[in-house]
Amino acid sequence: MRHVHHFIAGKHVSGSDPRTGDIFDPGTGQVQAQVCMGTPAELDQAVKAALAAQPEWAETNPQRRARVMFRFKELLEANMDELAVLLSSEHGKVIADSKGDIQRGLEVIEFACGIPHLLKGEYSQGAGPGIDIYAMRQPLGVVAGITPFNFPAMIPMWMFGIALACGNAFILKPSEKDPSVPVRLAELMLEAGAPEGILNVVQGDKAVVDAILTHDDIRAVSFVGSSDIAHYVYSTGTANAKRVQAMGGAKNHGIILPDADMDQVVADIAGAAFGSAGERCMALPVAVPVGAETADIFVERMRAEIDKLNIGVATDPDAHFGPVVTSAHRQRIENYIDMGVKEGAELVVDGRGATLQGHEDGFFIGPSMFDRVTPDMQSYKDEIFGPVLQVVRADSLEEAARLPSEHQYGNGVALFTRNGLAAREFATKVNVGMVGINVPIPVPVAYHTFGGWKRSAFGDINQHGVEGIRFYTKTKTVTQRWPSGDVQDQSFVIPTMG
């Protein structure tokens, strides 16, 4: 049986805790490996390694740190196929989605290669008589990231790519469901030239999370996961004097105006709702057609589109999506479908009970679609995180816009229309952090910033882009005045001992 260990100070470490967690192959339902569970002792070992390595790394000039990031980028590209297969084997997403997962993380690494420019500070000459003021950005020290199962490559790179480029040392606590790719990323970073101890991976569960949130030497924590845990991470981390960004759940809406290109709408929402089996915080699980005719056309067209979707194992090139990550998660999704039926929504397509020949024990679930969902239904209020599309009908754009604006989550929203004025006003007024206009999944490119509102994010600094630089650095402002006269005058010489 293969074992996935911690990666501390450039070495694989088994740790002191005999507990292990099962890593499943979602396509077969069988245990394929086990992951070591960490304790506060392993975390402390990682922190000590990080503390030892970070000062010299911080003193390395930004251009040389950028060269390490560039070599890491090249290694990611060279090992893309290997990483994608490994990722799919533990997560279940199809190979194309796994490559997309890696690619979106790689784009943040590319952004981090520009760190010499990004760290340039402000300067004011002549702020007062003979006085100049300048500001510099300096690393925090040792920082940490806690990442979810659904993007085991992208989200860690969103965090450690920026943090390392800024001169910090990083400790990663990945999901125990698919921990192998994060370890492989740490190996490649070491191969790229990062010092031992600059990027450490500590496996584990809540015991390690709590140890991260309370450790005196960890200065900042980045988290992505469910909203309840995000709130816990934020409140606990800030109570322990840490800078925290905690990204939570989502319930993203796609509003369809009568003038929208329905061919584009159906294709876009099918991919956004069902791609990666819906296990994305930026998935689009709620469609809001405006007007009865628009709704009827959309539902009929989407029903036909769903019939074309193929479910398969991760390595099947013809599969649109694969299994979900665990049996327990599949059951959770099916429970929400049961709930929707009981609440009175119209189940147009039922994905429960889906199986794949030869893989009857795999964690497969088919695409489902509900029509005539209403905002008072619990299944609408909650994040399902699976291949379930809910259609909420609206009579006007104003009514449609209130749905995402008043929902507890505020990650992303999309508007499909040809009306530029309507789109402009909608983007300005909707109470959501990321907006797409004819773009179903409005995840910004790496040099912009990612972050939702309301219960989708806790903390006031977003991920990657310039906001990422802000999060992983602190600003020091220097006000200086140089006296006139002979610089050799002893009164101006720094005193020495002796």
Return the active site residues: 281
Is 241:403 a contact under the CB 8 Å cutoff?
Answer: no
Two tokens, residue 358 = 């030869």
- DSSP secondary structure code for residue 90 in this structure: H
Contact 220, 463 (CB under 8 A): no
**End-to-end distance of the chain based on CA atoms, in angstroms?**
65
The enclosing H or E element of 142 equals: strand 142-146
Which three-class secondary structure state does DSSP give residue 201? strand
Per-residue b/e over 109-135, b at no fewer than 16 CB within 10 Å? bbbbbebeebbeeeeeeeeeeeeeeee
Q: In angstroms, rounded to a whole number, what is the distance separating the alpha carbons of residues 186 and 201?
A: 7
Looking at the DSSP bridge assignments, the partners of residue 474 are: 138
Beta strand residue intervals within 2-130, DSSP E: 2-4, 6-8, 11-13, 20-25, 30-36, 123-128
